[in-house]
Structure 1
């Protein structure tokens, strides 16, 4: 597990120092205007070098990429992320699922389970926060968020 240290930069924003499991050291500075700067800390030279500067929108795009919203490695087909009581899981629909080719609204996902579908990914195309008219087709991977018991209920309904 990585170590993250957070500190305020008065008049600038926040600074996050991150030490990864691999032993890399990185500093992320989030400016009050939304700009982000990434620095790599060189232990041997005890220096930090700015690696890149990102706008707020670019930072969110990179966060989505790193978080797996655009692409999920095959080895992580059943990945789940737990944040307190909230879970985020990726669920890939296969051709045999009974509920394929129905809309989110027809399935009444949120009303029946309390789960939110936060993204739908198919063939490299990502739809963020698909609406009730979104048709769930074979091969689509849904990014779903909710409590573990609610996600289990959704999977039971869909299977």
Structure 2
């Protein structure tokens, strides 16, 4: 089983999921909130056999069917806020660095509200909290802000400031 997250410039974000038996499924989340489920050919992982469009309400209902834990986006005065888990992988430039080094909030507007490490959680981490490879950041912000933060943590070119 594996997952992958890819930024689609000008469109949104694609989340790819491969099941234990090798089936490839993706979810594309557009900047405007539209979502599409994609089901791929088992023999050709690039050939999408079917795409199913989902409204935000339909996506939330499906998510609740898959996992009963509350995962709704928070709506505040018409602005959608999302919560996302962002892994600190071995490719991240922030493994071993201080949380404050990310400058997450000033660069993206997203906030890191917790760090999950192995079997423990560190809520409301201070800027002096040292990140480690394998940590998972719990981020809250707009879709665009959280996506930008994920790129920064991943060390992808789109997330690098100069």
TM-score range, shorter chain: 0.3 to 0.5
TM-score for the superposition, normalised by structure 1: 0.48
Larger Rg: 1
Normalising by structure 2, we get a TM-score of 0.47
